[in-house]
Structure 1
């Protein structure tokens, strides 16, 4: 397993102090520099240490309270340090979307991987067969959603001489116009029959993603989830899971996990223990836009509340008119696929005082500039630092390879390495 603390700090990692070049990440972290006065350059993305810990604990207790196993989607962060902390907070394993992500997980010692996609890449299946055969303790589960996909998997695994069967779950599509997945129960049965006809695959359950239900609302999501659990119960009665000791039923992104918990609780006792597997991933950093509005905790506030953990700091580099300013963070630095950054605070370039960003709005992003509109009386000067909240954490981590983990007083206590 790579030792991330011994990686050298250099020009590859944006925003880190130039005078830290040559130090290891561990040595730099031990210096506990201040984000604002410790030599960091702008723009710089900061991850709140307190909010990350809060969010990890909240989902751990939520899953325990509702009898759910938890395999958070790692594509959100691709940060092994966060995977380790999720596992320490009770996660069953980590979810992947593509083979590269699974390889990163294995390189960092992840023992259980749920791949939420059909895997038909011959080279990836050859790698998977070798991983499974070399490590009896490695658990891997992936989707199947077509008879042709089953045929391709079987062909590649037989060619690889796979000794262990690959565990698969049939993906039930979330309806017409949704993303992947088999659209009908009869279609699911045909895929399950194809799996049963192989020796290289083993049917262990059913799964899907409720976030793709067209026109998603609580009733539509609930109806689809009941189709999913109904399929699991029907197939159990038909002895389709005879080859496994545990039945997997999995769903759950970051927008509807309350409904997943509700419907999974209705699942009757089956002939084998059931692994009710939730896969939410964006909760670790949460956000100031998309998921802040959609989080299930808004619907069920007594369960708690996630905290946005990212803040992007950039510096005002131009103030051409009283109504306009530009900072030095743009599309290369800020998540922008759904909503623009939200101006939250200003750090005064003269005094270091931090004040609310009143009358200040980010209106656009260029490659390396944020367009900022200022209302009459807004206090913003060249040299000030603007702290912005970000929307949609799924595209924040992938723009930064080494992210300072910062306490509330500005002390940097660690650096989070990402692998996109």
Structure 2
């Protein structure tokens, strides 16, 4: 799919790019294919390995196809149009976002179908979403309270539209013409909004805590002309044990059954779940046609799979449980230079919290490049802590680092890596730059 991806100018404001003499574009860099160590870049620098990312995208597309799932990967991981386009080209049904601002970015890029995996309460954002829906954009909201329903209703129809009406159920069509009639009010848009009701779990994030609460909120949705109840959604990624995950996903299915039994769902129903740690359980428990009388679409939202990592997702990927279905490969490398070796057992590297994620584990040393270009494994090295611009590296006896060495690190938790970099070089297997990702956070 072709997205409207601007070829931005890269200049002295772009971290890691050494451009004192003037700007370049991603297209110009791709045509020149500069080597990462040829002098046009400085340290630290985050890069994406093209072959690994492409393999991950293909792996997830194949996984979803095998299990009858649709894929709407979470765009918040990267907010990089180039990667979003690649996922859509591989067959993704749509994209997921966390905020209205992220939805605005994807709308401007031309992403045709978006799920907002949060309750939106801002009336300004809701009015815009309703207007864009009326113009043909397929966007889905989620609600977990009658307050959320009332806010959406007010955006569509103005004051008073949140009152329970005739109880008529929307078409339930997933992917139908989004220009429905709605109810015109004095301050509303007269558009319509597609809505998923969210089930949560105790101690988790958002979402109704019980199926009866889910039914109450769903009934409130169907009581507002212009709101279309499309199905149910949930997030299992904060749960630690498979038994807990399975119980929650089973309850999510029970929630869909309860809404169907109450006559609240249309003929086509959407069920959405799936972080990047338990998508195998989503496939096992939610895939298929298990809601009699309804055409069911199960949408997986796993976002971190596009780049994977060398830390938290390397440890918790579902492909550890089902290795025949995978694997995924770490696609992000962070290069940083050894600045000082002030005492035995310690090296300071020019990379810190401004450059590397640290909320889900510290960077992982992978290799060392000497000033003469030779490379060795990073045996005996470990990051112990980060300052703003320094990493403290424990150096085991027998390991040798000298100032000027460049260490290649893997990262842990890609969702907090991309937001630190406005431009990210894409490299081939020879470490030549073949593209540049732009990020929009």
TM-score range, shorter chain: over 0.9
Deviates more, 1:52-61 or 1:231-240: 231-240
Question: CA separation in 2, counterparts of 1:194 and 1:388?
Answer: 50
For structure 2, list consecutive stretches of 5 or more residues without a partner in the other structure: 159-186
More deviation, 16-25/76-85 = 16-25
Distance 2:36 2:241 in 1: 41
* 1:19–1:39 CA contact under 8 A, matched in 2: no
Q: Residue 365 of structure 2 contacts residue 382 of structure 2 at CA under 8 Å; is this kept in 1?
A: yes
Kept in 1, the 8 Å contact 2:211–2:254? The answer is no
Q: What is the match of residue 239 of structure 1?
A: 263
**Alignment check: 8 A CA contact 1:254 1:295 kept:** yes
Quote the residue 2:407 is aligned against: 386
Match of 2:312 in 1: 290
Out of 263, 282, 299, the position equivalent to 1:277 is 299
User: 1:122 is matched with which residue?
Assistant: 123
Distance 1:230 1:172 in 2: 10
Q: Structure 1: which 5+ residue stretches go unaligned?
A: none
Q: Matches of 1:381 and 1:66 in 2, distance apart?
A: 50
Partner of 1:177: 203
Match of 1:156 in 2: 155
Q: Does 1:335 align with 2:351?
A: no
Matched, 1:49 2:50: yes
1:205 is matched with: 231
Task: Give the equivalent residue in structure 1 for 2:66.
Answer: 65
Give CA deviations for 1:137-171 in whole Å, capped at 9, x if unaligned: x1111111001111121112213533332111110
Deviation at 1:202, TM superposition (A): 1.1
- Alpha-carbon distance in structure 2 between the residues aligned to 1:92 and 1:38: 41
Matched-pair contact (CA < 8 Å) for 2:47–2:425: yes
Instruction: Give the drift of 1:353.
Output: 0.9
Confirm or deny: 8 A CA contact 1:402 1:415 kept in the other structure. yes
| Worse overlay, 164-173 or 247-256 | 164-173
Supply the distance in 1 between the matched residues of 2:10 and 2:21 (Cα, whole angstroms).
Answer: 7
Q: CA deviation at 1:374?
A: 1.0
1:240-286 Cα offsets, whole Å, 9 max, x none, are: 113xx520001000000000000013652432321100000000110
Measured against aligned partners, the alpha-carbon deviations of 1:76-129 in whole angstroms (never above 9, x if no partner) come to: 000111111000011000001110000000010011000111111101011112
Query: In the alignment, which residue of structure 2 is the partner of 1:220?
Result: 244
CA–CA distance in structure 1, aligned partners of residues 382 and 236 of structure 2? 34
C-alpha contact (below 8 Å) 1:288/1:390 kept by paired residues? yes
Q: How does 1:85-104 map to 2 (within 5 A)?
A: 85-104=86-105
Structure 1 counterpart of 2:192: 165
Tell me, yes or no, if the aligned pair for 2:5 and 2:81 is still in contact at 8 Å. no
Q: Is the 8 A contact 1:233 1:268 kept in 2?
A: no
Distance 1:64 1:3, change over 3 A: closer
In 1, the alpha carbon distance for the partners of 2:27 and 2:379 equals 38
Residues 262-273 of structure 1: matches in 2 within 5 Å?
262-265=284-287, 268-273=290-295
Question: How far has the Cα of 1:50 moved from its partner?
Answer: 0.8
TM-score normalised to structure 1 length = 0.95
C-alpha distance after superposition, 1:208-249 (max 9, x if no partner): 001133xx311111111111112212322332113xx52000
Count of aligned pairs between the two proteins: 411
Segment drifting more, 224-233 vs 82-91: 224-233
Matched, 1:322 2:321: no
Tell me the C-alpha RMSD between the 2 structures: 1.4
Give CA-to-partner distance per residue, 1:317-373, whole Å, 9 cap, x none.
Answer: 111112111111111000111211111100001x10111012111111110011111
Shift of 1:204: 0.8
Whether the 8 Å CA contact 2:144–2:199 is kept in 1: the answer is yes
- For residue 4 of structure 1, give the secondary structure of its aligned residue in structure 2: coil
Residue 22 in structure 1 maps to residue 11 in structure 2: no
Q: 2:362 touches 2:385 (CA, 8 Å); kept in 1? A: yes
1:3, distance to aligned residue in structure 2 (A): 4.3
Question: What residue in structure 1 maps to residue 396 of structure 2?
Answer: 375
Contact 2:347 2:394 (C-alpha < 8 Å) held by counterparts: yes
Conserved 8 A contact 2:26-2:436: yes
User: In the TM superposition, what are the counterparts of 1:305-320 in structure 2 within 5 Å?
Assistant: 305-320=327-342
Q: Does the 8 Å contact 1:55/1:284 carry over to 2?
A: yes
Once the two structures are TM-superposed, the CA of residue 20 in structure 1 deviates from its matched residue by: 6.5
Task: Provide the secondary structure at the position in 1 that maps to 2:409.
Answer: strand
Q: Secondary structure at the match of 2:9?
A: coil
TM-score, length-scaled by structure 2: 0.91
